[in-house]
Amino acid sequence: MRSPGVRFSIARHAQWAPGLTSHEAWAAWSKAPFAIAPGEEPGVKAMPPMLRRRAGFLGKMALEVAYQCLDGRGDVPTVFCSRHGDVTRAVELLTDLAKGEALSPTAFGMAVHNAIPGLFTIARADRANHIALASGAATIEHAVIEACGLLADGAPAVLLVACDCPLPELFTPFESCEEQPFAWAWLMTDGNDDGEAMALNWNACDDVPQDDLPGGLRVAAFHHSGARSMERCDGRLRWHWSRDA
């Protein structure tokens, strides 16, 4: 029996990480991935400064690629996904709470998972719906399925934004992979246009994950490498990525 799956096209894409700010840099990295270290922040010049200042490092990476990928296009639903979200800001808030200190309303508002896409829609006065999603090691795959559901419901295109950052030192003993800073965005369509055709299928799997790269970076490496296929296991499902011939 054929495994369940979805098909879609990538009409446009954008990506950003410290030291990896061009398509050529990402293509070279995909052939020999190395650990990406935190560094400079993206400029996010398309966003008004008053709103841009509210975003942290994670948010600025996500906003940079979202603006680049849409390139002024409006009324596009967004699926924002991040396995951990802005956990650094959340830990800072919890630390202040434990000390009995007053919490910053802005920091609290920006710590929730849907704060970044919310800021994006406010800045663009865009009424298109947005979804914030986290699903453990398979966050990227579930975000793709969610985006494909929106396409199946009639959306002409869906913006998928993926991002993550290194975890605070407090969580180092619990990491399942080496978390690194990155963000990328795909403008996804239903596969009936001239975009890059992709397929994602899955089946049950109880193997222990053996990948040091976070899921978002493993998928980014596959996308930029030109490889025909790639498999990942999250400990529950085996995910089969392929370029749809």
Domains of the chain: 12-194 (3.40.47.10)
Q: What is the pLDDT of residues 164-220, one digit of tens each?
A: 999 998 888 888 888 999 999 999 999 777 789 999 999 998 887 778 899 999 999
Contact 20, 188 (CB under 8 A): no
The residues facing 6 across adjacent strands are 200
| Residue 196, number of CB atoms within 10 A of its CB | 15
Token pair recorded at residue 244: 């749809």
Three-class DSSP category at 55: coil
Over residues 142-159, the mean pLDDT reads 97
pLDDT at residue 46 is higher than 60:
yes
**Contact status, residue 202 vs residue 237, Cβ threshold 8 Å:** yes
146 backbone φψ class: left, alpha, beta (φ>0; ψ -120 to 50): alpha
- pLDDT (0 to 100) of residue 122: 94
Nearest to 62 by CA among 95, 85, 87, 35: 85
- The pLDDT of residue 1: 42
Element spanning 200, H or E: strand 196-204
How many whole angstroms separate alpha carbon 241 and alpha carbon 199?
Answer: 6
Q: What is the pTM of this model?
A: 0.93
Rg (CA), the chain: 18
Mean pLDDT of 220-226: 95
Residue 144 host element (H or E): helix 139-152
Mean pLDDT value across residues 132-160: 96
Query: What stretches of 37-180 adopt beta strand conformation (E)?
Result: 78-81, 130-133, 158-164
Q: 78 in helix, strand or coil?
A: strand
Q: H-helix or E-strand containing 183?
A: strand 182-189
Find the length of the chain: 245
